[in-house]
Chains A and B, each alone.
Chain A
Amino acid sequence: MQKGSYLGELEELILLAAASLGENAYGLAIMEALNEKAKRNLSLSAVHTVLYRLEEKGLLRSEMGGATAERGGRRKRLFKMTQYGAQALQENREVRESFWSSISLQWQGGNL
Chain B
Amino acid sequence: MKKPASIPTWAERFFAWYCAPHLHEELQGDLAEQFEHHCSRYSVSKARRLYWWNVIRLLGPHTLKRKSVNYSTNNTIMFKNYLLVAYRSLMKRKSYTFINVFGLALGIASAYLIFAYVKHELSYDEFHSQKDHIYRSQVNFHIGGEDNNTSVSPTALLPHLKREFPEIKEGVRVYNPGIFAPMVLQVDEQKYEEKRFFYADSTFFKVFDYELIQGDKKTALSTPNSVLLTQRMATKYFGYTDPIGKTIRLNNVRDFTVTGILENVPQNSHLQFDFLATFSSLGVAKREEWWGANYQTFVVLNEQADVKVVEDRLFEQVKEMTKGQLPSNGDYVRYSFTPLLDLHFNTSYSNEWEPTSSMVYIYIFTAIAFLIILIACINYMNLSTARATDRAREVGMRKVMGAYRSQVFSQFMSEAILITLIAGMLALVLVQVAIPVFNDVTGKNFTSAILLNRELLSYFGAILLAVSLLAGAYPALALSGFKPIKVLKGQFKHSTSAVALRKGLVVFQFAISMFLIMSTLVIMSQLRFIQDKQLGYTKDQVLAFPLDYALSEKLPTIKQALSAQSGVLGVTSSTNLPNLVRGGYSLSVQGMAEGSELMITAQAIDENYLEVLDMELVAGEKLTATDALLVQDTVYQNRTYNILVNETAVRKLGLTPEEAVGIASNVGERKGIIKGVMKDFHYQSLQQEIGSVAYFIEPEQFNYVMVKVAPQNMEHTLAGLQTLWSKLAPHRPFEFEFLDENFKNMYASEQNIAQIFQVFSIIALLVGALGLFGLASYTTIQRAKEISVRKVLGASVGQLVILLNKDFVLLIVWAMVLAIPLSFYFMNQWLSNFAFRTEIHWFIPALAAILTLLAALLTVSWESVKSALSNPADRLKSE
Interface residues of A (CB under 8 A from B): 26-28, 32, 43-45, 48-49, 52, 64, 68, 70-72, 74-77
Q: How far is the CB of B20 from chain A (nearest CB, A)?
A: 11
Contact A27 B36 (CB under 8 A): no
B268 at the A interface (CB under 8 A):
no
Min CB gap B48→A, angstroms? 15
A46 to chain B, nearest CB (A): 8
Tell me, yes or no, whether B391 is within 8 Å of chain A by CB.
no
Contact residue among B30, B34, B57, B62 (Cβ-Cβ distance under 8 Å from A52)? B62
**B34 lies within 8 A of A28 (CB):** yes
Contact, CB under 8 Å: B60 / A74: no
Is A28 touching B33 in the complex (CB atoms < 8 A)? Answer: yes
Q: Does B338 lie at the interface of the complex (its beta carbon under 8 Å from any beta carbon of A)? A: no
Report which of B25, B58, B62 forms a contact with A44, defined as CB distance below 8 A: B58
Interface of B (DSSP majority class):
helix
Q: Which residues of B contact A43 (CB under 8 A)?
A: 54, 57
A75 smallest CB distance to B (angstroms)? 6
Q: Is the CB of B54 within 8 A of A74?
A: no
CA of A72 to CA of B34, assembled, Å: 12
Q: Which residues of B contact A44 (CB under 8 A)?
A: 27, 30-31, 34, 54, 57-58
- Check: B26 CB closer than 8 A to any chain A CB: yes
13 intermolecular pairs with C-beta atoms under 8 Å apart? A26-B26, A32-B37, A44-B31, A44-B58, A49-B60, A64-B26, A68-B29, A70-B36, A71-B33, A72-B32, A74-B25, A76-B26, A77-B26
Q: How many Å lie between the Cα of A71 and that of B26 in the bound state?
A: 10
Measured CB to CB, the nearest residue on chain B to A72 is B32
- Minimum C-beta distance from B852 to chain A (A): 62
Using Cβ atoms and an 8 Å threshold, which residues of chain B touch A77? 26
Binding site secondary structure of chain A: mixed
Q: Are A75 and B30 in contact (CB under 8 A)?
A: no
Residues B32-63 near A (CB distance < 8 A): 32-34, 36-37, 54, 57-58, 60, 62
Nearest Cβ distance between residue B22 and chain A, in whole angstroms?
Answer: 10
- Please name all residues of chain A whose beta carbon is closer than 8 Å to the beta carbon of B33 when the two chains form the complex: 28, 70-71
The answer to whether B31 and A75 have CB atoms under 8 Å apart is no
Set B29, B36, B54: member contacting A75, Cβ < 8 A: B29
Chain A residue at minimal CB-CB distance from B61:
A49
How near does chain A come to B41, taking the closest CB pair, in angstroms? 12
User: Does B563 have its Cβ within 8 Å of any Cβ on chain A?
Assistant: no
Tell me if B442 is interfacial: C-beta within 8 Å of chain A: no
* Known contacts A28-B30, A28-B34, A43-B54; A75/B62 CB under 8 A: no
Size of B's binding interface in residues, CB under 8 A: 17
Closest chain-A Cβ to B18's Cβ sits at a distance in Å of 13
Known A27-B27, A44-B34; 15 more pairs at CB < 8 Å = A26-B26, A28-B33, A32-B37, A43-B57, A44-B54, A45-B54, A45-B57, A48-B27, A48-B58, A64-B26, A72-B32, A74-B28, A75-B25, A76-B29, A77-B26
Q: Is the CB of A75 within 8 A of B57?
A: no
CB distance from A25 to the nearest CB of B (A): 12
The 6 nearest A-B residue pairs measured at CB: A74-B29, A77-B26, A45-B57, A71-B29, A28-B30, A27-B30
Which residues from A are CB-within-8-Å of B31? 44
B54 touches A72 (CB 8 A): no
State A68–B28 Cα separation when bound (angstroms).
Answer: 13
A26–B28 alpha-carbon span in the complex (Å): 13
- Closest residue of chain B to A78, judged by CB? B26
Instruction: List residues of B (354-377) whose CB comes within 8 Å of A's CBs.
Output: none
Complex-state Cα separation, A52 to B60, whole angstroms: 13
In Å, the complex CA distance between A73 and B701 comes to 106
Interface 1/0s, chain B 9-26, versus A by CB < 8 A? Answer: 000000000000000011
How many angstroms from the CA of A70 to the CA of B27 in the assembled complex?
14
Task: Find A26's partner among B30, B32, B57, B58 (CB 8 Å cutoff).
Answer: B30
Q: Which residues of B contact A76 (CB under 8 A)?
A: 26, 29-30
CA distance A75 to B30 in the complex (A): 9
CB distance from A51 to the nearest CB of B (A): 10
Residues of B within 8 A of A32 (CB): 37
Q: State the CA gap A26–B27 with chains docked (Å).
A: 10
Nearest A residue to B31, CB-CB: A44
Interface centre among B25, B26, B37 (most CB of A within 10 A): B26
Q: What is the CB-to-nearest-CB distance from A92 to chain B, in angstroms, rounded to a whole number?
A: 24
Bound CA–CA A102/B99 (angstroms):
88
For B25, what are the chain A residues with a Cβ–Cβ distance below 8 Å?
64, 74-75
In the docked arrangement, what's the CA distance between A23 and B68, Å?
A: 30
State the CA gap A54–B25 with chains docked (Å).
20
- Complex-state Cα separation, A76 to B60, whole angstroms: 20
Which of chain A's residues has its CB closest to B29's CB?
Answer: A74
Q: What CA separation (Å) do A44 and B57 show in the bound complex?
A: 8
Give the distance in Å from the alpha carbon of A71 to the alpha carbon of B31 in the complex: 8
B26 touches A27 (CB 8 A): yes
What's the Cα separation between A45 and B64 when bound, in Å? 13
Name the A residues within 8 Å of B57 (CB-CB): 43-45
B29 cross-chain contacts in A, Cβ below 8 A: 68, 71-72, 74-76
B753 to chain A, nearest CB (A): 69
For A71, what are the chain B residues with a Cβ–Cβ distance below 8 Å?
Answer: 29-30, 32-33, 36
Residues of chain B contacted by A26 (CB below 8 angstroms): 26, 30
Minimum distance in angstroms from B807 CB to a CB of chain A: 52
> In the complex the two chains form, what is the Cα distance from A45 to B60 in whole Å?
9
With both beta carbons as reference points, the residue of chain B lying nearest to A56 in the complex is identified as B62
Chain A's closest residue to B35 (CB) is A71
Decide: A75 near B26, CB < 8 A? Known: A45-B60, A49-B62: yes
Residues of B within 8 A of A68 (CB): 29
Identity of the chain B residue whose Cβ is nearest the Cβ of A70 in the assembled complex: B33
A71 and B32 CA atoms in complex are apart in Å by: 6
Give the distance to chain B from A48, nearest Cβ to Cβ, in Å: 7
Contacts of B28 in A (CB 8 A): 72, 74
Chain A contacts of B60 at CB under 8 A?
Answer: 45, 49
Complex CA–CA separation, A74 to B32 (angstroms): 9
In chain B, what residue has the closest Cβ to A65?
B26
How distant is the Cα of A63 from the Cα of B29 in the complex, in angstroms?
14
In angstroms, Cα B36 to Cα A71, docked, is 9
Distance to closest chain A CB from B801 (angstroms):
62
Q: How far is the CB of B119 from chain A (nearest CB, A)?
A: 57
Q: Report the minimal beta-carbon distance from B97 to chain A, rounded to whole angstroms.
A: 47
Q: Which residues of A contact B54 (CB under 8 A)?
A: 43-45
B483 to chain A, nearest CB (A): 26
Q: How far is the CA of A49 from the CA of B30 in the complex (A)?
A: 14
Query: In the assembled complex, how far is the CB of residue B699 from the closest CB belonging to chain A, in whole angstroms?
Result: 106
- What's the minimum C-beta distance from B501 to chain A, rounded to whole angstroms? 41
Contacts of A48 in B (CB 8 A): 27, 30, 58, 62
B52 to chain A, nearest CB (A): 13
Complex CA distance for A52 and B26, rounded to whole angstroms? 12
List chain A residues, Cβ under 8 A from B37.
32
A45, B58: Cβ atoms closer than 8 Å? yes
- B40 CB to nearest chain A CB (Å): 12
Chain B residue nearest to A75 (CB atoms) is B25
For the complex formed, measure the closest distance between the CB of B44 and the CB atoms of chain A, giving whole angstroms. Answer: 17
